[in-house]
Amino acid sequence: MELSAKIYVAGGRGLVGSAIIRKLRHNGCAHIIERSSKMLDLRDQAATLSFFRNEQPEYVFVAAAKVGGILANNTYPADFIYDNLIMETNMIHAAHETGVKKMLFLGSSCIYPKFAPQPIKEEYLLTGELEPTNEPYAIAKIAGIKLCQAYRKQYGDNFISVMPTNLYGINDNFDLEGAHVLPALIRRFHEAKQRGDSAVSVWGTGTPRREFLYVDDLAEACCFLMEHYDDSDIVNIGTGSDITIVELAHLLAKVTGYQGDIVFDPTKPDGTPVKRLDVSKINQLGWQAKTSLADGLATTYRWFCESKK
């Protein structure tokens, strides 16, 4: 990727897109294109194609998507399948039509079977039943992978797909109901501390295990693969280590300074019991995660407090 290349980061205001833009700017890339969803609704096929025709991006990071935590996925399955299928289809086809040199599509570790052997290798895709709470979203993401592979096979387009684990960091969505566990609990503990609450409720049994990757590490991995990977096979991106939700809740209580009780609510869904990625492929390609969970959580909580001022 030449420093003068035209690079479009779709979803540039989101958690992942904004981190990719920070990394590209840090690397010296001068010609980055971004559009908010208000300026360009990527569900609109004609508008998307016209944007690609006018701007002629050479490299594209597909970080625009309908994204949310377990409850949002379970409550709005139609939005999660429709928005994601249509946005990725529009972008991938427009990239093909306008001769984009290379495109990176972001999937998610939820594309793997609910009960996949651990750690999850890339080849376990489509070997078993999906987790019901996010099946529509996962099906859309699997379709995105297949679109990239099909356009590569039929037309030789250099489209690659990466599968990140659960992410967190600055610019995350801290909504109490719609967000992922880590930002939702940061906010819940922070507000409980401010109000002096004696207990905070955490969804589910607390036994599920999750692997958390700091978003700047993910952005670095995406830029690394954009430079060094040209194959149709998907690539996992993660740390290779996971913790239980009980352990996460205690860590976050400590980071936020919350000293009350932590109560688990088993009426809320647990989701996949465990989804730890096998990251040997990306490690062998020459990249590995750098940020410890302790450092990533401290940075994220500092940013959360600053952004509320």
Ligand X SMILES: NC(=O)C1=CN([C@@H]2O[C@H](COP(=O)(O)OP(=O)(O)OC[C@H]3O[C@@H](n4cnc5c(N)ncnc54)[C@H](OP(=O)(O)O)[C@@H]3O)[C@@H](O)[C@H]2O)C=CC1
Ligand Y SMILES: C[C@H]1O[C@H](OP(=O)(O)OP(=O)(O)OC[C@H]2O[C@@H](n3cnc4c(=O)[nH]c(N)nc43)[C@H](O)[C@@H]2O)[C@@H](O)[C@@H](O)C1=O
Please name the residue that has the structure tokens 């999660």: 80
> Does the annotation flag 109 for ligand binding?
yes
Binding mask 132-151 for ligand Y (x = CB under 6 A): --x--x--------------
Phi, psi of 209 (to 5 degrees): -110, 140
Strand partners, 33: 8
Angle between helices 215-228 and 15-27 (to 10 degrees): 60
Asked whether position 73 contacts ligand Y by CB under 6 A, the answer is: yes
Q: Are 121 and 176 in contact (CB under 8 A)?
A: no
The catalytic position among 137, 151, 168, 258 is 137
Residue of closest CB approach to ligand Y:
69
Distances (CA, A) of 54 to 3, 59, 98, 195: 21, 14, 10, 51
> Does the annotation flag 153 for ligand binding?
no
Asked whether position 36 contacts ligand X by CB under 6 A, the answer is: yes
Min separation Cβ 66 and ligand X, Å: 6
Q: Tokens standing for 130?
A: 């999906």
Cα dihedral 245/248/249/251 (nearest 10): 160
> Does the annotation flag 267 for ligand binding?
no
What count of other Cβ atoms lies within 10 Å of the Cβ of residue 277? 28
- Picking from 108, 109, 64, 114, the residue whose alpha carbon sits closest to that of residue 84 is 64
Q: Which residue number, 137 or 258, has a Cβ lying nearer to ligand X?
A: 137
Contact of residue 271 among ligand X, ligand Y, none (CB under 5-8 Å per partner type): ligand Y
> Does the annotation flag 188 for ligand binding?
yes
Q: Are 204 and 269 in contact (CB under 8 A)?
A: yes
Residues 6+ apart with CB under 8 A from 116: 124, 127, 128, 275
Whole-angstrom distance, CA of residue 193 vs CA of residue 258: 5
Q: Which residue number, 163 or 200, has a Cβ lying nearer to ligand X?
A: 163
Residue 11 is which amino acid? G
Stretch that binds ligand X, among 37-45, 118-126, 185-193, 262-270 (CB under 6 A): 37-45
Q: Are 96 and 151 in contact (CB under 8 A)?
A: yes
Cα dihedral 172/270/110/142 (nearest 10): -110
Min separation Cβ 90 and ligand Y, Å: 21
Please name the residue that has the structure tokens 């002629």: 56
Contact of residue 144 among ligand Y, ligand X, none (CB under 5-8 Å per partner type): none
Asked whether position 96 contacts ligand Y by CB under 6 A, the answer is: no
Residue 270 is which amino acid? D
> Does the annotation flag 180 for ligand binding?
yes
Binding mask 3-32 for ligand X (x = CB under 6 A): --------x-xxxxx---------------
Per the annotation, the verdict on 137 as an active-site residue is yes
Min separation Cβ 171 and ligand Y, Å: 16
Number of residues that bind ligand Y (CB under 6 A): 25
Tell me which residues in 160-179 interact with ligand Y (CB under 6 A): 166, 179
Stretch that binds ligand Y, among 13-21, 142-150, 197-205, 300-308 (CB under 6 A): 197-205
Catalytic residues: 137
Question: By the criterion CB under 6 A, which residues form the site for ligand Y?
Answer: 68-71, 73, 108, 110, 134, 137, 166, 179-181, 184-185, 202-204, 208, 210, 245, 268-271
Residues forming the annotated binding site for NADP(+)? 11-17, 106-109, 141, 164-167, 180
Annotated binding site: 11-17, 106-109, 141, 164-167, 180, 188, 203, 210, 270
